[in-house]
Amino acid sequence: MPRHEFQPGRLLAGIVLLTAGVVYLLDAAGEADVPWFLVIPMALGGLCLAALVGLVTYAVRRDRRDRISESSDR
- For 4, phi and psi rounded to 5 degrees? -125, 165
Tell me what pLDDT residue 19 has.
93
* Residue 4 pLDDT class (50, 70, 90 cuts): confident
Q: If 0-12 CB within 10 Å is exposed, 13-18 middle and 19+ buried, where does residue 29 land?
A: exposed
Over residues 14-51, the pLDDT tens digits come to 999 999 999 989 999 998 888 878 888 999 999 999 99
Predicted structure pTM score: 0.79
**Residue 74: is its pLDDT beyond 70?**
no
Instruction: Report the chain's terminal Cα–Cα distance, integer Å.
Output: 35
Mean pLDDT of 65-69: 79
Of 60, 46, 38, which Cα lies nearest the Cα of 11? Answer: 46
